[in-house]
Amino acid sequence: MSDDNIPLKKPFKKDFRFSLFILIFALMILLLFCAKIELFTSIFFFLLLILIDEFVIELLFLAIIALFILFFIMG
């Protein structure tokens, strides 16, 4: 028996949603740092993101690094 009729997974949409989700939360974290709100609040959002999924961690760090680079260049 062949497995030809098993539907293929489409991870692209999930990855795309995760990357949008991460960028939105990274922007929120950046805004919290810019507004000089207590560091504890930013760390709370950061830990909340890490608890959501392990896959989030890689894209989260990339997004935050990119946003901080842009922030320092523009600021």
What is the residue extent of each domain of the chain?
Answer: 16-74
Predicted local confidence at residue 27, as pLDDT: 74
Predicted local confidence at residue 23, as pLDDT: 74
Best CA proximity match to 68, nearest among 41, 34, 24, 18: 34
Q: How far apart are CA 52 and CA 61, in angstroms?
A: 14
50: DSSP letter: H
Contact 41, 32 (CB under 8 A): yes
Q: How many CB atoms lie within 10 A of CB 64?
A: 20
Predicted local confidence at residue 3, as pLDDT: 53
Render pLDDT for 42-71 as a digit per residue (tens, 0 to 9).
667 776 766 666 666 677 777 778 878 877
pLDDT higher than 70, residue 24: yes
Q: How far apart are CA 31 and CA 26, in angstroms?
A: 9
